[in-house]
Amino acid sequence: MNKVFSLILILVSLGILLKACIRQDIPQSFPERIITRELREINYPDNEKNINLNGVDYLQSQAPVGKFGGELIISTIGEGPKTFNPCNTKDATSSAMAGMLYDGLVTTNPVTGDVKPLLAKEFSVNGCDYVINLRKGIKWTDGKPITAEDVMYTYNEIVFKGLGNPSAMDAMKVEGKLPVIQKLDDYTVKFTTPKPFAPFLRQLSYPIVPKHYFKPYSDKGESVFNAFLSPNTPPAEIISSGAFMLKEYVPAQRVVFVRNPDYYKINLNDNKLPYLNKVVYMIVGDTNNEILKFEAKEIDVLALRGSNVARYKIREPESDYVIYNLGPDTGTLFLVINLNNRKDKDGKPYVNPIKHKWFANRDFRASIDWALDRKNMVQNIALGIAEPLFTAESLNSIFLNKYIKGHPCDLNVAEESLKKAGFINREGKLYDADGNRVEFDLYTNAGNLEREAVGVMIKQDLENLGMKVNFKPVEFNSLVNKLTNTHDWDMAVMGLTGSPLEPHDGKNVWTSSGSLHMFNQRPANYKIDDRLDWEKEIDEIFTKGALKLSFDERKPLYDRYQTIIYNQKPIIYLYSPIRITAIRKKFKNVFPTSLGGLIYNLDEIYIDEDKN
């Protein structure tokens, strides 16, 4: 989620000097506190270099030269991608798959967090003007050149019109106004923001798509565009720009990507990357199947959880895998409460008015917060490989509010909050002041065993207060539809991905008109200003925060929004897993970082069986 249901990190600076007022927003290096000792011992390659060969502006990897061939098999939990359209992804799996196919103008250096060019050869910033020089001579997979026309089309006709997932449009608005994009020549564009806008450079990671392929569908309207590049699309028809091309999709089994032979990145010998012939995403039903497939050597990478960490660590010296500690997760795990008090087009309330009265009561929400035993979750679900979480920013965010310390589970405080709100416990059953039994539904996405376990534990914790909780795991798409469209839900255990470098990526979650403002989601084009007072303040914070250009100016504002969420508790945060991942030793050029993860550089990774 950008947090979107997927938020993809933007990747590396080639030494382009930015104006000081903008550059201050991007810290020179990532805080020491989140870089684990294991990662500090890795010798990371230098930044890529621009190399012009025969009129083509290649990006040259500085990683050691590897061997061509072989495949890497990864797992993905759930039912597979919902779309291959990079402009319409609303879940992490679809975002990852589409991200294999389409590159953005820029990305993020996975070690330092600096913005660096990708499809762009270079960029410059002068106040509100962002000039992007594209690489000349690079091509789409159908052989047609990637030009400024593709960039103009992507932003003017998709992003700025809110086609597909409107989160990108929301994030680019400055006081309600969108940037203006101008074509300077066939390989140069200029963006102009209404005001100096600190997060804008990172927004340019949005995937650029081929105008000649996408336009016939976007011209036919939103419904046709949203159906474009569905999982039923023949892979051979898909025109893309990434290091890998879609070869095969077998529902509920696998997604196969193959090497793009004309990718614009080269190695130190000037040979075109990537090294791997194939990258296969094996679709597994749940985390237990994932472990079994790793044990059977059917997959090459495994995110270790709970008790598996110690077991795999003990076996590591004699094994065919190596383990990396990537530090706290960059996303968040939470319980969200539905505060929606609106009605559908037929005049029916989205949320039962009796339940809404409970949910709207801040003391009722506080009682839930105090009743949740995060320590127990960490010990019994994550088996100690996690830390309790109380803030809207992840534990590795440079904008984390360090003054929010949280609290332990305390049923006495929870019960006092309920009494203050007028609730009565009769023989272990909780009733409101009007005599209604407190009963509600709790959802999460089925198949995610961690979230299912969290849901069971939350049910148990809240039943200690006399609440009756109906826990209902449902298919992921059904849950997303409830949260963002039909609004007919009570509470849910969910997670969002995020950027530890840029809180503005969460604008679509926290601003009142945001497309992922789940706890009080407004229907599309909703005109009435029914914002809660604290929602208004958060709106103002995200407007001001984007217009401040230095970290020191922005930090107090984002500290304040975290304080508001902690106090008001529309979303109650639970814990942050520590990311510990295993990968087969035969894979080389693996340079894990806390920011980028384990295999962000798939185009550089290769296989060397002889050096295990």
- Asked, for residue 418, whether it belongs to a domain, the answer is yes
The rounded distance, in Å, linking the Cα atoms of 376 and 490 is 24
**Containing structural domain, residue 100:** 20-320+585-611
User: What's the whole-number mean pLDDT along residues 413-418?
Assistant: 97
∠ CA 221-243-166, nearest 5°, is 30
Residue 17 pLDDT greater than 50, yes or no: no
The sign one gets for the Cα dihedral 110, 116, 120, 121 is negative
Residue 404 has pLDDT above 50, yes or no: yes
Q: Mark whether 598 and 495 lie in a shared domain.
A: no
Indicate if 284 and 305 belong to the same structural domain.
Answer: yes
Q: What is the DSSP letter of 300?
A: S
SS (H, E, C) 403-419: CCCCCCCCHHHHHHHHH
Assign residue 310 the CATH number of its domain. 3.40.190.10
Nearest to 207 by CA among 163, 174, 255: 163
Q: What pLDDT is attached to residue 378?
A: 93
At residue 612, the pLDDT reads 63
Single out the residue of 563, 274, 238, 253 nearest to residue 402, CA to CA.
563
> What is the arithmetic mean of pLDDT over 113-121?
95
One domain for residues 479 and 596: no
Indicate whether 493 and 593 sit together in one domain. Answer: no
Q: Are residues 70 and 120 in the same domain?
A: yes
Query: Residue type at 370?
Result: W
Confidence of residue 611 (pLDDT cuts 50, 70, 90): low
Q: Give the per-residue pLDDT at 49.
A: 96
Distance CA 224, CA 169 (A): 19
Identify whether residues 541 and 593 lie together within a single domain.
no
Residue 11 lies in a domain: no
Please tell me the total count of domains within the chain.
2
Q: Does residue 9 form part of some domain?
A: no
Q: Which of 497, 508, 493, 515 is nearest to 538 (CA)?
A: 508
Mean pLDDT of 125-145: 97
Query: H or E segment at 358?
Result: helix 353-359
Across the strands, what pairs with 131? 124, 190
Specify the pairing of strand 491-496 against strand 439-445.
parallel
Q: What percent of the chain has pLDDT over 70?
A: 93
Residue 222 falls inside a structural domain: yes
Distances (CA, A) of 86 to 12, 145, 181, 224, 502: 21, 19, 20, 15, 21
In a domain, 148, yes or no: yes
Q: Over 90: is that where the pLDDT of 524 sits? A: no
Does residue 358 sit in the same domain as residue 438? yes
- Split at pLDDT 50, 70, 90, the class of 38 is low
- pLDDT value at residue 23: 25
As a whole number, the mean pLDDT across the chain is: 90
Average pLDDT over residues 159-182: 91
Range 429-451 average pLDDT: 94
Q: Are residues 154 and 101 in the same domain?
A: yes
Confidence of residue 421 (pLDDT cuts 50, 70, 90): very high
Kind and range of the H or E run holding 37 = helix 37-40
The pLDDT of 492-514, averaged and rounded, is 90
Give the residue-averaged pLDDT of 194-215: 95
- AA identity, residue 108: T
Chain segment 257-314, per-residue pLDDT in tens: 999 999 999 999 999 999 999 999 999 988 888 999 999 999 999 998 777 888 898 8
How far apart, in whole angstroms, are the C-alpha atoms of residue 491 and residue 330? 23
Does the pLDDT of residue 3 top 70, yes or no? no
Q: Could you tell me the CA-to-CA distances from 172 to 2, 90, 192, 259 in Å, in that order?
A: 12, 18, 11, 33
489 and 592 share one domain:
no
Tokens representing 222 are: 């939103």
Whose tokens are 């990683």? That residue is: 63
258 and 138 within one domain? yes
Enumerate the H helices of 421-532 as residue ranges.
Answer: 449-463, 476-481, 507-510
Q: What is the CATH number of the domain that holds 504?
A: 3.10.105.10
